[in-house]
Amino acid sequence: MIPARTVVPDVRSLVFRCLMLLPGAVMGLGLIVFSLGLVVFLAFRHNDGSVLGAGWTWSNFQTILTDPLYAQVALRSVMIAGTATAATVLAAYPVAYCIALRGGRWRSLLLFLVTLPFWTSYLLRVFAWKIVLAYNGVFNSVLVGSGILHAPSLAFLNTPAAVVVTLAHAYAPFAILPIYTALEGLPRSLLEAASDLGARPWTTFRRVVLPASVPGVLTASMVVFIPTLGDYVTPALVGGPRSIMIGSLIQMQFGRANDWPFGAALAVAVMLVVAGGMVLGRKLSVGRQG
Amino acid sequence: MKIPVPPVLRGSSSGAALWIYVALYLIFLYLPICLIPLFSFNDSVQAAFPLKGVTLGWYRTLFQEEGIHSALWTSLEVGVFSAALATLCGVTVSYASVFMKSRFANLLSYVARLPILIPGVIIGIAMLIMANLVGIGPSVPAIIAGHTLVGLPATVMVMQGRFASFPRSIAEAAEDLGAREWTLVRRVLLPMAVPAVGSAFMLAFLTSFDEFIIAFFLSGPHPTLPVYIWGQLRFPRSLPIVMALGSLILAVSVVVSILSEALRRRGQAT
């Protein structure tokens, strides 16, 4: 009797643990890993109109590497996403700094205010920029109304610059939070020690604050760069034909062009660039610490 | 002659500049969004200054639109189901990674946070291929699956933060008193985590309610609200209605995220 009693709870706890792992396993391995695996699988298939394609091939990747159109779009995507990332992180840095080190009792309110837009519709935020930048939009009507311009300008909407500004607006919380987290952990005594030792504010910033924030800046750069690289909505709404990015090309393969394997290959290429960026980011942050 | 500036004053002037920058940044962040509700009350098809007069007409047209009713219903259905699934997965994955200390549990928590590192277009096509492989094709269940996936990172992060903040001694005390793991979860951990669970559910719901690109790939005959809006953006005449609809969606997002934040804070306070 006694051994049986000690065995029963063990079996129960085993069943319990398996049950606790089940939803995550179904979702994580069954859906996330499997569906991404499908994309990679499809990238190496011929397009015959069926879901999984036919026969194995490298030709999708050969097209991407040899057709100058794709190199051009890829380069443009990296340039726009890179510029947007730099702009977002630079503009966000002073805000994160201020909230983390000078926030005082306003800190949690400010943090909430900068993250709130993130929880509103991305599509609507991009659409808002279309209203701002359009030919008969807000920016033009203010400029004409105040006499700075004589007639509305077409120079704002449908440019790569419009994409960069819109992305910097849309991904602001992504940049602020990691930098804030890195700076928040900075001991206040370190700053006081620096100023007691006679360091000017700028020197304190350059020698104490900036190095401490590097991991946060790298994380921020990654979490902004990754989604902007594959973005579809912003180039489509405010970018115009000169800002077609890789996300639009992928969408086209699954829409009008109806070449799923090629679209999958483009997606794999994007994921490789993302992975490369992450490895680089990790290397940089490890190099800083070591 | 140079007058030395006391460091205190110097600090405060650079501090003032910093605060002015933060204020300008917040204006940059909120001004474009505020234009949507502003123009939704404007009595003109064009979104330009000067304003032409106040009207509620766009909202009236909005409520008569059949397509919006069905899109709203689809969005709510997708949001509630995907948030429930994402919360279930988020709670169990976080529990496993915080309390079970197994490699598999850690792997799952990593995989569950992976969608944040993948551009939406790629999640969209991955789910589209999956849906066609399984045979359901672009449909409401397919969108629910896709949105569960993008809701996961938020639920996992909220729940992991909550579970990790529990003092170890609570679990140990319960174990010493002979409580089984399930009893511990049901009687101690879950009641303590209820506000965080609510917060996670709301964030997952919001993520789904606002999500466009995945729903765009997976929408069959029943589009969600953002996909419906996307379809309307082509027609300049329907822009004011889009802005009225957008204002309501923004209001929902703001209210739900304030509630979620309040819940999360209450959870941390106890």
Cβ-contact A229, A241 below 8 angstroms: no
User: Is B230's Cβ below 8 Å from some Cβ in A?
Assistant: yes
Query: What Å distances lie between residue B118 and A36, A52, A260, CA to CA?
Result: 10, 22, 18
Whole-angstrom Cα distance, residue A142 to residue A132? 10
Tens digits of per-residue pLDDT, B6-50? 343 345 566 788 899 999 999 999 998 998 888 888 887 777 777
Q: What integer pLDDT is reported at residue B21 of this predicted model?
A: 93
> Residue B10: what pLDDT?
43
Q: Which amino acid is at B80?
A: V
Distance from CA of A4 to the nearest CA of B (A): 16
**Closest Cβ opposite residue A232 in set B48, B109, B213:** B213
Residues of A with Cβ-Cβ distance to B118 under 8 angstroms: 36, 226, 271, 274
Q: Which residues of B touch A35 (CB under 8 A)?
A: 126-127, 129-130
- Residue-level pLDDT at A102: 85
Helices (H), B41-177: 57-64, 66-95, 103-113, 120-134, 140-165, 168-176
Return the higher-pLDDT residue of B15 and A24. A24
Whether the predicted pLDDT of A96 surpasses 90? yes
The CATH number of the domain holding residue B239 is 1.10.3720.10
What separation in angstroms does the CA of A111 have from each of A127, A184, B26, B31? 24, 12, 11, 18
Query: Looking at the domain assignment, is residue B205 inside a domain?
Result: yes
Q: Is residue B176 part of a domain?
A: yes
Interface contact B96-A270, CB threshold 8 A: no
Residues of B in contact with A141 (CB under 8 A): 48-50
pLDDT digits (tens, 9 = 90+) for A130-181: 888 887 777 888 888 887 877 777 778 888 889 999 999 989 888 999 999 8
Question: Distance between CA A65 and CA B97 in Å, rounded?
Answer: 41
- Whether the predicted pLDDT of A5 surpasses 60: no
Cα separation, A166 vs A161, in Å, equals 9
Cβ of B116 under 8 Å from any chain A Cβ? Answer: yes
pLDDT at position A262: 93
User: What pLDDT sits at residue B5?
Assistant: 41
Q: What is the mean pLDDT of chain B?
A: 86
How many Å from the N-terminal Cα to the C-terminal Cα in chain A? 59
**Residue range A111-139: mean pLDDT, rounded:** 86
CA distance B128 to A39: 10
C-beta atoms surrounding A114 within 10 Å: 22
State how far the Cα of B33 lies from the Cα of A116, in Å rounded to an integer: 11
In this prediction, residue B195 carries a pLDDT of 87
Cβ atoms of residues B148 and B89 within 8 Å: yes
Q: pLDDT value at position B82?
A: 96
* Cβ contact, residue pair B111, A29, below 8 Å: yes
Q: Which residues contact A173 (CB under 8 A, 6 or more apart)?
A: A114, A115, A117, A118
More confident residue, A270 or B5: A270
Let me know: does B130 contact B149? Beta carbons within 8 Å: no
Q: Compute the mean pLDDT over every residue in chain A, rounded to the nearest whole number.
A: 85
B249 by DSSP, 3-state: which? helix
What are the angstrom distances between the C-alpha of A187 and each of A20, A62, A209, A254, A259?
A: 39, 53, 10, 51, 55
User: HEC states along chain A?
Assistant: CHHHHHHHHHHHHHHHHHHHHHHHHHHHHHHHHHHHHHHHHHHCEECCCCCCCEEECCHHHHHHHHCHHHHHHHHHHHHHHHHHHHHHHHHHHHHHHHHHHHCHHHHHHHHHHHHHHHHCCHHHHHHHHHHHHCCCCHHHHHHHHCCCCCCCCCCCCCCHHHHHHHHHHHCHHHHHHHHHHHHHCCCHHHHHHHHHCCCCHHHHHHHHHHHHHHHHHHHHHHHHHHHHHCCCHHHHHHHCHHHCCHHHHHHHHHCCCCCHHHHHHHHHHHHHHHHHHHHHHHHHHHHHHC
Residues 13-72 of chain B with CB under 8 A from chain A are 14-15, 18-19, 21-22, 25-26, 28-30, 32-33, 35-36, 39, 46-50
Long-range interactions of A183-186: CB distance < 8 A, separation 24+: A183/A96, A183/A97, A183/A100, A183/A101, A183/A209, A183/A212, A183/A213, A183/A216, A184/A100, A185/A212, A186/A100, A186/A101, A186/A212
What confidence tens digit (pLDDT) does each residue in A245-265 have? 899 899 999 988 889 999 999
C-alpha R_g of chain A: 25
Domain range holding B78?
65-269
Asked if B123 and A230 count as a contact pair (C-beta separation under 8 A), the reply is: no
* B152 with A27: Cβ contact below 8 A: yes
Look at residue B182 and tell me if it is in a domain: yes
Would the CB atoms of A119 and B226 count as touching at under 8 Å? no
When CB atoms are compared, the residue of B11, B111, B119 closest to A247 is B119
Give residues with Cβ within 8 angstroms of B180, minimum separation 6: A9, A12, A13, A16
Mutate which of A41, A111, A129, A131 to test chain B, going by most B C-beta atoms within 10 A? A131
Gap from B168 CA to chain A (nearest CA, Å): 19
- In chain B, the number of structural domains is 1
Q: What is the Rg, in whole angstroms, of the alpha carbon atoms belonging to chain B?
A: 24
Residues of A in contact with B149 (CB under 8 A): 27, 31-32
Substitution target from A120, A125, A167 for chain B, most B beta carbons within 10 A? A120
Instruction: Answer for the pair A190, A213: CB distance below 8 angstroms, yes or no.
Output: no
Task: Kindly state whether residue B75 falls inside one of the protein's structural domains.
Answer: yes
Per the domain annotation, does B121 fall within a domain?
A: yes
CB-CB neighbours of A13 under 10 Å: 13
Whole-number pLDDT of residue B204: 93
Tell me what percent of the residues of chain A surpass a pLDDT of 90.
23
Residue B160, token pair as written in the block: 């992991």
Residue A2 confidence (pLDDT) above 60: no
pLDDT (mean) for A175-192? 85
Q: Which two tokens stand for residue A20?
A: 């606790």
Residue B156 lies in a domain: yes
Contact A114 B129 (CB under 8 A): no
- Choose from B95, B104, B129 for mutation: most chain A CBs within 10 A: B129
Q: Could you tell me which CATH number the domain at A75-289 has?
A: 1.10.3720.10
Q: Domain-by-domain residue ranges, chain A?
A: 75-289
CB pair distance less than 8 Å for A263 and B125: yes
At B13 the pLDDT is 63
Q: Is residue B191 part of a domain?
A: yes
Query: Is B17 a domain residue?
Result: no
Of A17, A23, A122, the CB nearest to B212: A122
Interface residue B130 vs chain A (CB under 8 A): yes
Which of A248, A202, A264 minimizes the C-alpha distance to A44? A264
